[in-house]
Amino acid sequence: MPVRRLLLCLVLLPLVLCGCGISARPRLVVRHYALGAPAIEAPAAAPAVKALAIAPFDSPSHYTDRIFYRDNNNAAGYYAQDRWVAAPADMIARLMAQSLRQARVAQAVGRERLLRDADLVLAGDLVRFEIVRDGRDCTAACELQLVIRDLRKRTVVFAQSFAGGVPVKKPLVPVARVSVAAMVAALDAATSDVLTQATAAIGKALAEMPK
């Protein structure tokens, strides 16, 4: 073999081996999770409000589709292989609309872009939506601030905050880590509690409004 060709092979060999190593690296598998809607019972009385529009909810910038946690020493981060199917604020806004629709708090309940001539508009701020870790003890925390404005009179007719906290179920083996799936289940339960509280309070407030 010519010396030039031999030198070329020696130069390319590390690149080939490096490429093989990269292709053989295990692929990161990402799991996605969604929140479920709580079961809401509709009242017997007919709703007084014609149309209630739901505006997009706000939230802190760190509440993205990645699952956020905070330790008791203020360290924070995300779980690498776990995601929400959508941003938490958007998921909760849609579930809020669904719960209010099931509770029949108004004759029509929908997203703001659909009900452009609504009587009332509901705006929300997702204050907390995270896992709080303290060793093996973890808690799912959800807090939602809601405001309803009368678009005709330009007044605020409802303003209240709702919070829920659910302990994360520990594994049976004491040395095992708490799973992300258990954290998601606790966040789902905390969110359902918040939505149930909010739906009942909003339904009561709107029922007392004059037709």
Is the residue at 15 inside a domain? no
Answer whether residue 37 is part of any domain.
Answer: no
- The pLDDT assigned to 195 comes to 97
Q: What Å distances lie between residue 192 and 95, 163, 188, CA to CA?
A: 9, 10, 6
pLDDT for residue 2: 56
134: containing domain: 50-207
3-state SS, residue 51: strand
Structure confidence at residue 19 as a pLDDT band (50, 70, 90): very low
Contacts of 79 (CB under 8 A, 6+ apart): 66, 67, 69, 180
Residue 132 counted as domain residue: yes
Residue 203 has pLDDT above 60, yes or no: yes
Residue 105 confidence (pLDDT) = 92
Amino acid 173: pLDDT: 66
- The predicted pLDDT at position 66 comes to 94
Task: Name 66's bridge partners.
Answer: 83
Q: What is the CATH number of the domain that holds 167?
A: 3.40.50.10610
pTM of the model: 0.83
Residue 8 predicted with pLDDT over 50: no
Give domain status of residue 202, yes or no: yes
Render pLDDT for 120-178 as a digit per residue (tens, 0 to 9). 999 999 999 999 998 778 999 999 999 999 998 999 999 999 999 999 988 766 656 78
* 66: in domain: yes
> For residue 32, is it within any domain?
no
- Residue 26 within any structural domain of the chain: no
178 domain residue, yes or no: yes
Tell me how far apart the alpha carbons of residues 109 and 144 are, in angstroms, rounded to a whole number: 19
Mean pLDDT of the chain: 86
How many folded domains does the chain comprise? 1
What the block records as the tokens of 97 is 């609309």
Closest Cα to residue 61, out of 87, 30, 33, 31?
87
What is the distance between the terminal CA atoms of the chain, rounded to a whole angstrom? Answer: 95
